[in-house]
Structures are given as C-alpha cells and as structure tokens.
Structure 1
Amino acid sequence: MKKRLTFLLAVYAATVAFMAVQKPVFLWFHASEAAAASAGDWWRVIAHGLSLDLTVAGYIAAIPWLLTLTSLWVPLREAVWRRVFDVYFVLIALFSAAVFAVDLALYGYWGFRIDGTILIYLADPREAMASVGLWEGVRQTAIFAAYAALMIWGYRRIVRRFSGERVCRRLPWTGVLAVLGGVLFVAIRGGLTVATANVSKVYFSADMFLNHAATNPLFSLLSTLGDNEDYATAYPFFDESERAARFEALRGDRSSGAGTVRLLRTPRPNVVLVLLESFGRTVMDAEVGGEAVMPNMQRFRREGVWFENFFANSFRTDRGEVAVMNGFPAQTRMSVMKLPAKSRTLPSIARSLGREGYATSFAYGGDLNFTNQASYMYATGWQNLTWQKDLHFDAPTSKWGYADDVMTEWFADEVLRLSERGRPFLAGLLTLSSHEPFDVPYAKFDDKVLNAMAFADECVGRMIDRWKASPAWRDMLVILVADHSYPYPYGIAYNTVLRHRIPMIWLGGALAGVPLVVDVYASQIDLAATLLAQMGVDHSDFAYSKDIFDPALPKFGYYTFNDGFGVVDAAGAAIWDCTSSAALEASNPALLDVGRTLLQTTYADIGNR
C-alpha cells in the first residue's frame, strides 16, 4: 500500500515540476519581452506561478487517485492497472504539450495567455492553419514533441512505482486515500480562503508580461472554456444599425462643446478613491432612536460636493468596481472582471492618470484574488496593489480580512506617506467590514447590519479627519462612493430604484466652492468622465461615462440586476425584467429604450473585445 501512496505523491510532484518548467521556457521563448526582467523576476515568476501549477496538478492527479482507490477493491492484474495509467498519462502529456506549444506561439500575436477564445478559430481549422508559416509550424511541433516526450518519460518511470498487490486492511487504507483526496480537493480549489483558484492568484507585478509568464496556460484555457458565450446576441432588442444609432445619443465620449463647471482649485490634485462596501443611501439616511447610523457620512455630505441622485450600476462589488474605475456598465448574469482578456482592454481612471505621471496604488484588507480583482487591476493600470497577504497586523481577521479600523489607520498613513513624495498620486481603498457576516469589534446598535455600517462609518470618519488635520489636505481630492447598495429597509425588492441609490461625496482642500449639492441624475459609470474632465484629462475612450457637469449630455442613472435593468431620471423610472420580457415599472416609458440600448450595447461591446 505504501507503494500506492508513493506513486500518487510522485504523480502530483512530477506534474507540478512539469508545469513549473514551462515558466523559464516561456521567458526564454519571448526573450525580447523578458529582456528587462532580472534573475529575481525569473524566480518570482516561477514562485508565484506555483499557485496555479498546484491547482492543475490537483486536477491531473485526481483520476490516478480515483483509480488507485478503485484498485483496493477491484482485483485486476498489476500489468492491467499500469497499462491504464500509461494510457491516461500519454493523453495528459499530449494535451498539455499541445496547449503549451500553441500558447507559446499565440502569445506573440495575442499578448495574453491562451484561453477559450481559441475555440472560435478551431471551428475552422483550415483557416487557422493558413496563418501558420512553415518554420513556425516546424518549431512548435518540435516543442510539442519534446515536451510531450519529457512528460511521458517521467510519468512512465512513476507508473513503475505502482503496485497492484492485494491489500489486507482495505477499509483503513480507503480512509487514508479519502484524506488524500481531500488534500487534492484543496489544491484544486486553490486553498482554503474565500478566493478560489483563478489567474489573479499568480499576478504579482505592474509588468503584465511577468504576470502572464507566471500564468499556467492549461488553467487559463480550461477555466475559460465556458466563457465563449456569444455576448453580442445576448440581448437582441434592436438590429445592429438601430442599436448603434440609439447609442450615439447616449454615449458620453462625444464632445458637446458646452463646457463643464469647474470645481477644482488645482487641475492636478492627489486623488483618493474610497470604495465603501454596501453603503446604501437608505442605510446612510437611517436612524435608530433618533441617532444617525452614519453620522460621519452625514457630516461630510454637508461639507463637500454631495451628489443627491446617484446610483450604483449593480448589486455586486466586482461589477461596481468596474463601473466606478472603468466607466463600464455592469452586466446582468456575468462579470467582465472575470474575463482577463476582455477586462484588460477597458479604459480606466488609473491608466489615464498614469499617463499623466500619477503613481497609482490600491489597497484592500482582504484577498484581491477574489473574483479575479488583482489581475484585472494590474491590467487596467494600477501599478501597486496591497492586500491581506502583504499586511501583517497584530489584529484578528474576519471572514473577509482585516477589519476597517485596522485598514483605515494603515491607509491614512499610506496616503500621508505618498503626499510627502512630491509625485501626484491616485490611491484607492476598498472597505470590507460592512459586508456579511457583519462581525465587527463594535457594539453601538442591536441590529447587526446597522452596527457594522456604523462601525465602517466611524473608521472612515477618523481616517478623513486625520487627513484634514494635515498639510496634505490642501492638494487632496477624496471621493467617497459605494460599490453597491444594501437591501435596507429589509425586504426591499432587489430590482427597485431605491435598492440601487448610493452616496457619492467629494471632499478635500483641492475643491473650491463647497459645500455644493448636485441634483443631476447619474450613476457610477459617470464618475470617470466627470473626474477626468475636472482635471482636464482626455476621456474620449470612456464611451459610456458622461461628465455629470456637462449640461448638454443626457442625465440619468442606469443599473442592472440578475436579468434586467433599471433607468431613472428626473421625470421617472423604467424597470425591465428580461426573463419575463415585461416592464416592472414605467413611470417614464421613454427610459425603457435607453436601458435596452445600454444593455445590448454593453454585451455587444464585450463580445467584440
């Protein structure tokens, strides 16, 4: 039985090694892109890449584990079992080698690791092969053959370790193998944290080439095989010419020539973006026994620029982040953040300000691998990311990570440090304590949700008061905006306008003419163009984002839910459920076509990226 266990451990270890060796080969193959990489970078590529290598090894070892477990109870000759294993590993080797060889070649053309997109081209193999030159074909065939031969040779030596001898105590050894199966499951899942295995796990650098080099191509391919939905036809409300014509009237990147109200005292402030987890407007306005749940947000509302009619574009953090930071509308039943090859093509505030010489950094007290955030953020211009793995506070963590009291204190110091360096910066923070299970080191209200919200409000209030008391405040623009709302009062329908109303407040010494109340109807996607317009930075690549202060552009808030959309403006609202193809509300029926146009255009856009 010990030989069986040794066999399984050897299979797993060898597979990890076979996957890891791909990293230096990839760097060597793309030597021109890797020219600036140091020896330390090469080692970091291998080390960070191990996360997905371990996951892929878990998948590959799962069948041998199952066969080994079966061999305890099914009396077949040892030669038969070895033949079965040989066939399995030859197939694995051939498939792995094919993916590796094709990916090496495609990366030079695509600029990202192989994914489910390749299935589009395999639908017409003759056309795909027509693009392959003779030398390239010979070279990649040789790489395929060499890598497959290496894997087959290694696996065959390991199969010789397998013993099919009869085991006397089958039940105890079955239990041992069950435990080993649990370990494999953890490896496949990517660990025990809330974030499961995804390409974000291996991203570690602002240099996207190094992140790509660390990515396991097998994982990149297999994890995206279900992502080849025909997004462009998901919501066929209008024919293409009509859709395009309708969108022209809604787009934000067209020049109105009407100008914009200037709020900034300086065109190049230091920008601090604080994404407030679940800070719904209904929660912000709530009181318990006459006491405000969020007294600091109420105070800041009276001090800065307050956006009275502002809406979240979604009900999820990953989609809210994309709406805020990329000016890209939220989706209904998918998330573009989880499609790295597409999300990296989105315009972004971080990339736009990076071009203007800004240092960009983002912090989160939890795991930025969750929903692929890290890879998305590096790819869209955030140069430095700091999250739970980088922080070592002497403080307990919740399910999601470090609580807001610890993180806001650290982030307050970090912003002050950035202010002393003299280079303009964009610094972002995502809070997390106002998220279920709402366990916080605080006891103000009996209601668990409101208590957590009050805790987060207090932490943010202390952080901003520290900045206000420092010289850095003079050149600072702080933007407080929720990532999405929360269903409070309890039982509020998930698709209603009230469910998506959120606060947005601008604060800071860089502002002139405050306090100010802005009554314009807008949503998260409009923040990007509004901020960049205030700074005099080109925002023509943000097709959906409208400058809130441009009087000539349409004024409305737009959001999506599980399979529908809502649009609201000063004249009323329209809510459409796509599943039932029915209007749930239409106090302003004209907005139904606005929502249809935006939803169809969003998915068509994703399909074309």
Structure 2
Amino acid sequence: MMQFISAPGLVSDLTFILLALCLFMVLFTIGRCILLFWNRGCAADVPRSAIIAGFRNGLRFDLQIASVLMLPLWFGLLLPNGLSFRGIWLGYLLVTLLIASLLLLVEAEFYREFQARLNSIVIQYLSEDTKTVISMVLAGGPVLAFTVATLVIGLQEYIAVNEINMITMHNYSHATDSLMVNYAWRIPLAFAALCLLVLGARGTLRQGAPLRWGDAFTTDYLFANHLGINGIMTLFKAWQGWGKNDAAKDWMRFSDRDKALDITRQLVLQPADQLLAPNNSPLLRKTTPQGPKLDGVDNIVFILMESFTSRFVGAQGAPGNITPYFDKLAEDGCLCRHMFSVGTHTHQGMFGTFSSFPNLPDTEYLMQQPAGSGMFSGLPAIMTGMGYDNSVFVYNGDFAWDNQQGFFGAQGMNRFIGRDDYVNPVFQDKTWGVCDEDMFNRSVEELDLLHDQGKPFYGLLQTLSNHLPYALPEQLPVDDVTEFGGLNKHLTAMRYSDWALGKFFEQAKTKPWYNNTLFVVLADHGFGVPGQVSSINLQSFHVPALFIAPGIQNKVGKVFDKTCSQLDMANTAVSLLGKPFVQAGWGRNVFDLADDDPGYAMMKPSGSDKTVAMVRGNEIVVKGADITPECYRIDLGFPPGDELLSKDATGDPRYQQLGSFLQTAILCLNERKTGHDMEA
C-alpha cells in the first residue's frame, strides 16, 4: 500500500518530481516502441540509423510533455508543507499515466489508419458523433489487445509510482531536510526547479521559438521523423489550434495579392475560358469545351470509392488481384494513372471532387465550418446552371455525418438516399450503414427513376465498406486477402468493394440509360502502405480515376498519363458533354491540356499536419511546417521511389505556384468568392 510522509522536506519533494518525470520519459519511449512495432511495415525500408534518430529526437519532444505534466507538482512545492499530502500527488500521477498510456496505445492503431500522430481528426470525429466513433473503435479496433495492454501497463505504473514514493521516503534524512524545511529556502529552490522545467518544456537551448514540428524532420524518412514526435503534444496542439486559422494567415501573406492571382489564373484557366467578373470573382468564367466531346451522352454519374488506393489496383500495375472488376472496366474506359486526391480523409475527397475546391490549411472540415456555408462551383452547381434539376446522392451511411446533406443540398442536390432509406438490406453495419452491395443495388433503382422522368440527370454514388471497421457480409462473394500481413483486412474490404462495383456495372449495362451516361469512378483518398515517396508520403494520395462511356477510348484514349487531381474531375466530365457552362471551379479539363503541359495536383494531409505539396509531372515540391520547401523527382511505379533534387526550393517556380494558389484560394474562401453566382 502507498504510504504518506507527514512532513517531507524539499529534497524529498524534488527527488519525487525528478523520478516522476523520468517515469513519464520511460512511458513515452515504450509508447514509441509500440508505435514502431505496430506499424513495422512502415519501417521496412527505413535504415536503423534513421529509426535511432527518430528515438533520439523523441527524447526532446517527450521531455517537453513530461516537463509540462510536472507543473502541478511544482506548484505543490510552494505550499508550506510541500508535497506532504502525498496521496493527492500519487493519485495525480496514476491518473495522468493511465490516460497517457491509453493515448499511446490508441495512437499505434491511429497511425496505421491515418499515417499521422494524434491530431485534429480525433477532435473532429469525437465532436461529430461520439457514439459512432466509439462503435467504430469497438467493432474494428484491437480492443481486447489494447485493454489487456492497458491493464498490464497500469499495474506496472502503480508499482512504479509506489516505488517512487518509497524511495523518496527512504532517502528522507531529517538532519539534511531540516535545513530546508524553512520557507525561505523553498522559494528560491522552487524557482530554480521551475527554470529547469521551463527549459525542458521548451525542448531546446536556442533563442526564439521552442521545439517545433520541423525539429523532428532530421532524416529523409517520413516514418522515422514521425517517430520523433510526441502524439500527446500533437493532439494538444490540434486542440489548441482548433477553429483558428494561423496556417491560413501565413499563406495569405505569401506574395503580393495581384501577383498571386495572376499566377493562379495562369494555372487554372484554359485558352477558351472567358472571365465574367474579373474584378469581383477571381475565377468566375464561361467555359466553352474545346477538347474531345462524347456523342449522345447527356448524363453524368460519379462513383466515389472509399480508400481505393492505386497502390493495389491491378490496372495500375499492382500485384495481388485485389481489383479484378475495376481492372476489367478499365479495358473499356480511360484510366487516369497519375491522379491524386486533395487530402487523406473522405471529407476532403468529397468537397475536392464534387465542389472543385482545394483542401486548404485550417479548413480540412470545410463542410462543417462557417466558411463552407457559401456556394461552390462544383458538379451540382454547374449542372444546375445547365438546367439539370434531376439528381440523386446515394450513400451507405448517415448524411448527417460531416454535414453532407446540408452542404450538398445547398449546392443543388435534390434527393438523398442514406442508411435509413434501405429496405431489407443484405447487410447493415451498426456503426456506419449498409454494405456496398446494397448501396449499388439501390443506386440502380434510383437511376431508373431519374431516367423515367424523361430528363437528363446526374448522380453521386459513394461507397463505405472499405472503411474501418471494415464490416462486411458474413458470407463474402470474394476470397479473403491473406498475403499482405497487417493490410489483409483492409484489402479484403477493398476487394469486396471492387466486386460490388463490378456487379453494379453488370446491372447498369442492361439499362436504357447506360449508353448515354458518362461514369467517373475514382477514390476519395488512398491509405498508408509501405514505401515512402517524398516527405509527404505521396502514395497516400495516389488514386485511380476511370472515365467510362460509349466511345470514350476513341475520344481520349485508353490511358491518360498527365498529372491530374480531384479538382479537375467535374470540369473534365462536364466538358465531355460538349456544352458551354459557367463555373468558378479550381480544376481544368485535363483532356484539353496543351502538349507541353504535364498537369499538376495540389494536396494536403488531413488533420493538423500543415504540410502542402504540388505535383507537376514527375516532380513534387513539398512545404512542411517550419521546414524549407523541398523538391523531389518521383516514381510511382512498382516499387515506388524518389530522388531529392533540392533541399531548398524556395525559388522554384513551382513553389511560387503552390503558394500563389493557396493564397488566392484562402482569400476567395474568406471573401465568399467561391461560387459562380457573382455578378460582373
């Protein structure tokens, strides 16, 4: 049992604090070991020297958090009796250690899913629907393993805390401490202890800013750099910055406003675009398609596939036979092989694709933020402007999540089919909703209804089964994936989603609306896989996009190898109809690029990560927080790779394009100039 000291002296109190700090340092190191073990696939190509550097850097970040956690104990030093009521302080240590332990364990699985330390995704998920998040974790997370681990670690922490208490009691010497019980001694020594804690909390001896995110990036390996960061610190920073726009404000000062706008227009506008309100709306324009046009096609159907990464798509060259149905569809369509998502989370993939607006720092959850309450110039707005009033959005889950119905309803969608609208589904997951098979079956019915109205239509279909907890029907129509270790469950869900997609097209091909419909099949984002490409881990953004329509290959070819982005998809799809339209979107018709234009894509990881990047052809410029922009040559083949071209790309024209693009987009968002309802 824990014992108490009736009147401890200052030496005992200081020893108690020092040993408690060391205990937290040990815990954080154990947590880093667990993170490494749980995500060992990410470290497969990382040399041991980089891993060691990550652990070495981690000591500084751990000291930051441990020092901050010691501050309540330091305040106890100022009390006349110091830390004599030891039960209070022992209780504080135990509770704090248990919370930290739980966060470190959860983070191991969080990193596997999001390839990031704890960040604002945690806050966003919990603020959105805590019940759903808990259900997702219980259904798909390693709950039993983490529960047992928490109990074991908690017991060890109890023993360690009790031992610290006993050591400080054992080392207590009345003859020594009697000289320091006097309060006159306590104040100056407490001040000296505070100085040491402040120094530890800064994490560095340099003048100016304390230890920052960029200080962990000392190797060429993203996973090793991530190892060096403390997840509790990143979560606290995310909470501290929640709702603020500090990163956005930095980009708003990137360049002269007019110069940035001019560079942005050079990037986005195409030769036949006619600006309609250049003094009022930066990108409001009339687009008259000049590229290929599809004959007899009036309808557009977008299919957004959850986590459908190019790294396991056979048509992209991937092994494993994970996507045989998509691969077969690609034989009759046009596959964009150098396509990228705007983010690494469904929320960003949705508004990037359907609203043609970039993923900006501090606005990763745009559909839920006040800035997202205005009009955007994506597919719904463009189609409404062209006279289409016949549409449907079909989804497995709850449209209240991420404010999807509120957002897209305001953009022009007029019918939504969500989890509560299915009758006798094949399978319904208690966390999210029905399976992809049910979603696609209902989609065929809904597209039949749109066709029966005798008017052109458009539809948005979104899958969900390939998302944690990967809840699938008990009897799967596909074989389980068994050869990819920790990714097997994820890839089995991806294979099932691919099967459901194939069955949808089997049904669609028998329908009268099939031959006059353009289908665009693409992913919302990828997911973490072994192998690093540049310091942004580009594989998480590499996704396929497939255009399917009668005669599509005769018009645009079987494959398209220029760089493109989710931002380009609405513009490209509508342009294939061959009719003029008004828009203010941030994408281009990629099938009408000049021969010497390699295409480009902008991206940003989800959560609190302030990294941004621009891919142009086979090179990428990456700007991380507190880090000088870097330039790489990239190879997304099998295996993937990269070559660092420049450690300082500040003067690179592509970095100027990236900064100008972000600056102009942020200003447009703040000034509500994102829609195409502006007047000249």
Shorter-normalised TM range: 0.5 to 0.7
How far apart, in 2, do the equivalents of 1:407 and 1:548 lie?
A: 30
Matches within 5 A, 1:546-557: 546-552=588-594, 555-557=599-601
Instruction: Select which of 429, 439, 448 maps to 2:471.
Output: 439
Match of 2:550 in 1: 509
Q: Shift in Å at residue 373 of structure 1? A: 1.3
Residues 419 and 240 of structure 1: CA distance in aligned 2, closer, same or farther (over 3 Å): same
The answer to whether the aligner puts 1:249 opposite 2:266 as a matched pair is yes
Match of 2:566 in 1: 524
Q: Shift in Å at residue 461 of structure 1? A: 0.5
Match of 1:380 in 2: 411
Match of 1:496 in 2: 537
How far apart, in 2, do the equivalents of 1:477 and 1:289 lie?
A: 26
Instruction: Select which of 312, 317, 321 maps to 1:283.
Output: 312
Question: C-alpha deviations, 1:190-224, integer Å up to 9, x for none?
Answer: 7834599xxxxxxxxxxxxxxxxxxxxxxxxxxxx
How far apart, in 1, do the equivalents of 2:621 and 2:565 lie?
A: 15
Instruction: Select which of 556, 566, 572 maps to 2:613.
Output: 566
Is the CA contact 1:308–1:503 (under 8 Å) kept in the aligned structure 2? yes
How far apart, in 2, do the equivalents of 1:284 and 1:500 lie?
A: 14
Q: Shift in Å at residue 310 of structure 1? A: 1.1
Is the CA contact 1:293–1:453 (under 8 Å) kept in the aligned structure 2? yes
Match of 1:608 in 2: 671
How far apart, in 2, do the equivalents of 1:289 and 1:282 lie?
A: 6
Match of 1:265 in 2: 295
The answer to whether the aligner puts 1:451 opposite 2:482 as a matched pair is no
The answer to whether the aligner puts 1:391 opposite 2:435 as a matched pair is no
Match of 1:240 in 2: 257
Residues 487 and 290 of structure 1: CA distance in aligned 2, closer, same or farther (over 3 Å): closer
The answer to whether the aligner puts 1:325 opposite 2:367 as a matched pair is no
Q: Shift in Å at residue 450 of structure 1? A: 0.9
How far apart, in 1, do the equivalents of 2:432 and 2:314 lie?
A: 26
Q: Shift in Å at residue 283 of structure 1? A: 1.9
Q: TM-score, normalised by structure 1?
A: 0.59
Is the CA contact 1:576–1:584 (under 8 Å) kept in the aligned structure 2? no
Stretches of structure 2 lacking an aligned partner (at least 5 in a row): 1-126, 136-240, 275-287, 483-487, 633-643, 647-651, 673-680
Q: Shift in Å at residue 455 of structure 1? A: 0.3
Q: Shift in Å at residue 341 of structure 1? A: 5.3
How far apart, in 2, do the equivalents of 1:565 and 1:189 lie?
A: 25
How far apart, in 2, do the equivalents of 1:469 and 1:365 lie?
A: 23
Residues 490 and 397 of structure 1: CA distance in aligned 2, closer, same or farther (over 3 Å): farther
1:541 counterpart letter in structure 2: Q
How far apart, in 1, do the equivalents of 2:450 and 2:631 lie?
A: 48
Instruction: Select which of 475, 479, 495 maps to 2:516.
Output: 475
The answer to whether the aligner puts 1:415 opposite 2:447 as a matched pair is yes
Stretches of structure 1 lacking an aligned partner (at least 5 in a row): 1-187, 197-224
SS at match of 1:488: coil
Match of 2:624 in 1: 577
Instruction: Select which of 516, 526, 530 maps to 1:485.
Output: 526
Match of 1:350 in 2: 380
How far apart, in 2, do the equivalents of 1:433 and 1:454 lie?
A: 10
1:470 counterpart letter in structure 2: K
Residues 493 and 519 of structure 1: CA distance in aligned 2, closer, same or farther (over 3 Å): closer
Is the CA contact 1:260–1:549 (under 8 Å) kept in the aligned structure 2? no
How far apart, in 2, do the equivalents of 1:366 and 1:481 lie?
A: 19
Residues 378 and 195 of structure 1: CA distance in aligned 2, closer, same or farther (over 3 Å): farther
Residues 565 and 229 of structure 1: CA distance in aligned 2, closer, same or farther (over 3 Å): closer
Q: Shift in Å at residue 245 of structure 1? A: 2.5
How far apart, in 2, do the equivalents of 1:278 and 1:438 lie?
A: 11
The answer to whether the aligner puts 1:306 opposite 2:335 as a matched pair is yes
1:237 counterpart letter in structure 2: F
Is the CA contact 1:330–1:560 (under 8 Å) kept in the aligned structure 2? yes
How far apart, in 2, do the equivalents of 1:522 and 1:463 lie?
A: 26
2:620 counterpart letter in structure 1: A
How far apart, in 2, do the equivalents of 1:238 and 1:355 lie?
A: 34
Q: Shift in Å at residue 300 of structure 1? A: 1.3
Match of 2:139 in 1: none
How far apart, in 2, do the equivalents of 1:398 and 1:510 lie?
A: 42
How far apart, in 2, do the equivalents of 1:566 and 1:231 lie?
A: 14
The answer to whether the aligner puts 1:595 opposite 2:676 as a matched pair is no
- What's the % identity of the aligned pairs? 21
How far apart, in 2, do the equivalents of 1:548 and 1:343 lie?
A: 29
Match of 2:57 in 1: none
1:192 counterpart letter in structure 2: K
Question: C-alpha deviations, 1:353-372, integer Å up to 9, x for none?
Answer: 12333212101110111111
Count matched residues. Answer: 394
Residues 538 and 496 of structure 1: CA distance in aligned 2, closer, same or farther (over 3 Å): farther
Instruction: Select which of 293, 296, 300 maps to 2:322.
Output: 293
Q: TM-score, normalised by structure 2?
A: 0.53
Is the CA contact 1:564–1:579 (under 8 Å) kept in the aligned structure 2? no
Question: C-alpha deviations, 1:227-253, integer Å up to 9, x for none?
Answer: 574786241221323322322211236
Please give the root-mean-square deviation of Cα atoms over the aligned residues, in Å.
Answer: 3.2
Of stretches 274-283 and 393-402 in structure 1, the one that deviates more from structure 2 is 393-402
Q: Shift in Å at residue 471 of structure 1? A: 2.6
Residues 545 and 388 of structure 1: CA distance in aligned 2, closer, same or farther (over 3 Å): same
Question: C-alpha deviations, 1:484-513, integer Å up to 9, x for none?
Answer: 111124777882333211111111337462
Is the CA contact 1:523–1:558 (under 8 Å) kept in the aligned structure 2? yes
Residues 538 and 282 of structure 1: CA distance in aligned 2, closer, same or farther (over 3 Å): same
Matches within 5 A, 1:198-237: 227=243, 229=245, 233-235=249-251, 236-237=253-254
Q: Shift in Å at residue 423 of structure 1? A: 1.2
